Amino acid sequence: MSTNPVPWPIEPHTVAKHAVYRQYFSKWFPIMTNGWGGNVTYAEGFSGPGIYTKGEPGSPVIALQTLIGDERNRTRYKKMRLLFVDHDERCVTLLRKRLEVASQPVSLDDLARYGIDLDIRKGQCVPTLERLLTEYKAWGRPMLVVLDTWGGGVPLDLVRRIAKNPSSEVLITIQPQYFARFAEVDSIEHGDEVFGGTTWRKVSELPSDRKARWVIEHYRDVIRKAGFGFVLDFELIDNRGQALYLVFGTDHRRGLQKMKEAMWEVDDVSGVGYRDPRDPGQQTLEIVFEPNVEPLKRLLLNALRAEGPAGCTVMQLRTFALYRTVFKESQVVPALNALLDKGAIEMSEPGPLRFTSNVRAHESS
């Protein structure tokens, strides 16, 4: 067993991550309990103790509070499963206590009478989580699986199995630096399992300033190929420059839209911002009500340059924003208006409204 203290102080980017989770759970639970009669699963493979040193709730507690605190879910769950795995006995014991408090006035053991099966197991995420999902007959039904590792990721075979399960989604957090520090990675084989092959090892040949970005791009590709129709990924950056990379995989356009809404509805989290890994300017965005759309403008300009004189319609650009950036479709028109005002793009009529970049490809930086 590890000698690190349990619980531990919360990191700034964990605060922001929890804020995104809280928003997303508040959207996911009502949709799923409505559409599947509550016969769905929320699971975590790296659950933690459910609390941090100053009493902040951990992700399993946030999930339970969101589920039972919302009237819209309460009448509907008939067979909801909440399944948690952690390999540290201290986390398992403390998590049980914290969930017992969070479920009040109903005791944890009584949750089953309300249609919620809750289980916490001590074990390695692989294979314990898969077995637990089998034991509770979760396969074949929708699931949201949170895999919050310490940074080192999770074997791809588990992610692939979740991707093949109907209406299932994953939220994975990794720290690209873990893989960028190639020589220090405890086990190169672990990296091969996470990326599903040895291609990631190329990171050792890259200059140090390109390693983390390459890891992110490669991992995004790996998750998409695992079988998810849509992948949203972004970094949470704290004011010390520490990055937590979050990848969300879903098969549903609506899931993607809801996750984006969740991201942009989060209240200000002091000292933490978002970064779109695709933004050529690598700008960190404050988490605020009126988000800064400068990176979106850069991304739209790049997309328009790539299309050349043919240009793109607003609809095409909205689709591009949804699938290829961290921004929402609704943020496209204000960004286009700002680009028009600056003279960076042109609008053509008649016919479908098309935009073309005013900056020729060779002038772009």
Ligand X SMILES: C[S@@+](CC[C@H](N)C(=O)[O-])C[C@H]1O[C@@H](n2cnc3c(N)ncnc32)[C@H](O)[C@@H]1O
Q: Read off the DSSP letter of residue 116.
A: E
85 interacts with ligand X by CB under 6 A = yes
In sign, the C-alpha dihedral spanning 54, 58, 61, 62 is positive
Contact letters for ligand X, residues 146-165 (x by CB under 6 A): --x-x---------------
In sign, the C-alpha dihedral spanning 50, 144, 12, 102 is negative
The CB-nearest residue to ligand X is 58
Q: How far is the CB of 43 from ligand X (least distance, A)?
A: 11
96 interacts with ligand X by CB under 6 A = no
- Sole residue written with tokens 């952690």: 86
- 344 vs 331: CA distance, rounded Å: 17
**Interface with ligand X in residues 218-277 (CB under 6 A):** none
* Closer CB to ligand X, 59 or 73, in the complex: 59
* Closer CB to ligand X, 91 or 232, in the complex: 91
169 interacts with ligand X by CB under 6 A = no
* Closer CB to ligand X, 87 or 201, in the complex: 87
58 interacts with ligand X by CB under 6 A = yes
* Closer CB to ligand X, 55 or 105, in the complex: 55
- 126 vs 90: CA distance, rounded Å: 19
**Phi-psi sector, 197: left (phi>0), alpha (psi -120 to 50), beta:** left
Closest CA relative to residue 332, chosen from 357, 311, 306, 314: 314
- Number of separate helices (H) and strands (E) present in the chain: 13, 12
* Closer CB to ligand X, 58 or 176, in the complex: 58
Count of residues engaged in binding ligand X, rule: CB under 6 A: 16
130 interacts with ligand X by CB under 6 A = no
* Closer CB to ligand X, 18 or 318, in the complex: 18
- 275 vs 233: CA distance, rounded Å: 9
Candidate residues 76, 87, 181, 252; the one interacting with ligand X per rule CB under 6 A:
87
175 interacts with ligand X by CB under 6 A = no
115 interacts with ligand X by CB under 6 A = no
* Closer CB to ligand X, 148 or 235, in the complex: 148
Is residue 228 within 8 Å of residue 248, measured between CB atoms?
no
**Phi-psi sector, 364: left (phi>0), alpha (psi -120 to 50), beta:** beta
Residue 29: both structure tokens together: 């639970």
Candidate residues 88, 251, 276, 279; the one interacting with ligand X per rule CB under 6 A:
88
Closest CA relative to residue 227, chosen from 276, 174, 157: 157
* Closer CB to ligand X, 249 or 311, in the complex: 249
* Closer CB to ligand X, 177 or 356, in the complex: 177
Contact letters for ligand X, residues 12-51 (x by CB under 6 A): --x-----------------------------x-xxx---
Q: How far is the CB of 131 from ligand X (least distance, A)?
A: 13
- Sole residue written with tokens 């637990």: 132
Q: Read off the DSSP letter of residue 179.
A: H
Closest CA relative to residue 36, chosen from 165, 224, 171, 229: 165
Cα separations in angstroms, 212 against 1, 26, 243: 29, 32, 10
125 interacts with ligand X by CB under 6 A = yes
Candidate residues 86, 233, 251, 279; the one interacting with ligand X per rule CB under 6 A:
86
91 interacts with ligand X by CB under 6 A = yes
Closest CA relative to residue 96, chosen from 109, 105, 87: 109
Q: How far is the CB of 282 from ligand X (least distance, A)?
A: 25
Segment interacting with ligand X (CB under 6 A) among 80-88, 202-210, 324-332, 335-343: 80-88
Q: Which residues would be at the binding site for ligand X (CB under 6 A)?
A: 14, 44, 46-48, 58-59, 85-88, 91, 124-125, 148, 150
